[in-house]
Amino acid sequence: MSQRALVNVLGEKVHYQEIPSSLFDAYFSTQQQEVVPACVVLPGSAQDVSQAIKVITQHECIFAVKSGGHAMFTGASNAPEGITIDLRNLNSLQISDDRKITAIGSGNRWLNVYDYLDPFNVTVVGGRDVDVGVGGFLLGGGISFISRRHGWGLDNVYNYELVLANGSISIIHRASNPDLYWALRGGGKNFGIVTRFDMFTHVDTEMWGGVNILLLDDMHDRLAILGIPRKFEWTTTALIGKTAEYINKLICKVGYCISVDDVASMLGEIALEAENDIFAHAWAVPIFFSSSQTYLISAEMNHGKGVEGAPGFGALHRAKKVYKTNRVARTADFAREITTLNTGGRCSYETATFKLDADLQKDIMHIYIEETEKIRHLKHLLSSIPMQIITKAEIAHFLKNGSNCLGLDPGDGPLLLLETAMLWTDPKDDATVLQTSKNILDRSIALAKERGLHHPFLYQNYAGKRQDVFGSYGEKNLARLRKIRDEYDPDHVFTRLSPGYFNV
């Protein structure tokens, strides 16, 4: 009945009898692609979204909202047997006459945004992967290449065009709706459907940087020290591993490798130096590939003034790399490059935050290796733990425009933001891989708590389904978010009827 009601008001914008498979191809994870909703709505305007919400609330329908579809877990932005509102056609872009504000439809991906702004020589605090959708990125946080200078994406939204639970359409601004404006800056999908973001623009200067690949030089000895040496067997996995080990040793002999200890020290050095250089942005990703039985480090460096070898990069820049793409280019070029490295499949993300400590980072690496070794036999497995620094200067931007709801204070920094990111292909391996991710994270958190180095913050855009994102914002902020939710959505439409993503 709800499908017919939607068709009555939205016509051909509703697909429910034969839903084209192409509507699911854009989801990043296979788990989301596999979801079968009762119908898909493709609104072309805020008014269409309003009509859809009115029908959904009238018929008490389960629904989900998709901007780019980059959330990993089942049901996050595709509603099983429910209604999926796909915002892809809300893709308008309009820069103001003075080029200070750009109105961005929430169905855009960052590729569209960057390409549109390029002729104006300006940019916005957007995604580092051009395939990521605008909506989820900005509502959950939004870490960018230029966040050290300008804050996260959510700190750079001037207005929100928002469809509320009663179907009304409002422009939310700090001056007119300070509480709701605050809540939308990190509060996710709990207050309505944002159909447009008006964002501050910034001059798009050329950056120096790129992808840098380094090998780990001490894995054989490291595995032995950890009590998990690889025993040779006449299996494909063992043969590949032994071959990779010999090749790795040859490469390391000519100086193209670093140790686990070096990685931990580099992150600490970057954090300290970056406080004095807001143009320096870097992160490191330890990665294991089961196809080659190899661990490596993928590191990204970017400098907003185009400076090669800036102090903010320290030993990471000086280390020899087996592969690097460092050059001078614009923001969009670097974001395109990151997209080529992020392939979809069966995926899992989870996250944790810690106070910066080199010994803790080294021990987290050990935990990661120990747990990954247990599943290294799985085919087409990629196991990684992206590590990035949230600096004090970065957090200081959270205070502008009335602050956001994340619960971070500049005094908390610098912080280590850890992510467990898993990629695999066989659904039979789902439980095994998810348990490994959980083990890595839970063991790391337990160790950090023992040392007084754990921070409760969970970054929404990296969080797993089991994680309490809004509880991590602190009791005071959670209570305020719920009070604002009760005021603007008294029937809890966006929590009760939209259960697939994080609820306050």
**Where do the structural domains in the chain lie, given as residue ranges?**
2-89, 93-204, 207-471
Check residue 342 and give its pLDDT.
86
Query: What is the distance between the alpha carbons of residues 310 and 13, in angstroms, rounded to a whole number?
Result: 51
Length of the chain counted residue by residue: 504
Three-state SS at 501: coil
504 residues of the chain, pLDDT tens digit each: 688 899 999 999 999 988 988 999 999 999 999 999 999 999 999 999 999 999 999 999 999 999 999 999 999 999 999 999 999 999 999 999 999 999 999 999 999 999 999 999 999 999 999 999 999 999 999 999 999 999 999 999 999 999 999 999 999 999 999 999 999 999 999 999 999 999 999 999 999 999 999 988 767 777 777 788 777 666 666 666 666 666 767 767 767 777 888 888 877 777 776 678 899 999 999 999 998 888 999 999 999 999 888 887 877 888 888 899 999 999 999 999 999 988 889 999 999 999 999 999 999 999 999 999 999 999 999 999 999 999 998 999 999 888 999 999 999 999 999 999 999 999 999 999 999 999 999 999 999 999 999 999 999 999 999 999 999 999 999 999 999 999 999 999 999 999 999 999
Three-state DSSP at 98 gives coil
Which pLDDT score, from 0 to 100, does residue 1 have? Answer: 61
Evaluated on CA atoms 165, 171, 176, 178, the torsion sign reads positive
Buried b / exposed e over 71-109, threshold 16 CB at 10 Å, is bbbbbbbbbeebbbbbbbebbbeebeeeeebbbbbbbbb
Q: Are 352 and 441 in contact (CB under 8 A)?
A: yes
- What's the token pair of residue 128? 């580092």
How many other CB atoms are there within 10 angstroms of residue 370's CB atom? 16
Amino acid making up residue 282: A
- Residue 243 is predicted with a pLDDT of 67
Query: Max Cα separation, the chain?
Result: 70
pTM, two decimals, is 0.95
CATH topology of domain 93-204: 3.30.465
8 Å CB contact between 283 and 211 = no
Residue 38 is classified by DSSP as S
pLDDT of residue 18: 85
Tell me which residue of 409, 336, 350, 316 sits closest to 131, measured CA to CA: 336
**292: CB partners within 8 A, 6+ apart:** 240, 244
Asked whether the CA dihedral 247, 252, 255, 258 is positive or negative, the reply is: positive
Helix (H) or strand (E) holding 198: strand 193-200
Parallel, antiparallel, or unpaired for β 63-66 and 83-86?
parallel
Q: Is 317 left (phi over 0), alpha (psi -120 to 50) or beta?
A: alpha
Residue with tokens 């009555």: 8
Select 2-89's CATH number: 3.40.50.970, 3.40.50.620, 3.30.43.10, 3.40.50.1980: 3.30.43.10
- CATH ID of 207-471, from 3.40.462.20, 3.30.460.10, 3.30.750.24, 2.60.120.330: 3.40.462.20
Among residues 364, 465, 381, 378, which one has the least CA distance to residue 417?
Answer: 364
Q: What is the per-residue DSSP string for 427-478?
A: GGGHHHHHHHHHHHHHHHHHHHHHTT-EE----GGG--TTS-TGGGG-HHHH
Could you count the other beta carbons within 10 Å of the beta carbon of residue 430? 13
Beta-carbon neighbour count of residue 231 at 10 Å?
6
Do residues 302 and 207 touch, judged by C-beta distance below 8 A?
Answer: yes
Beta bridge partners of 303: 208, 280
- Contact criterion met (CB below 8 Å) for 463 and 469: yes
d(CA 488, CA 504): 13
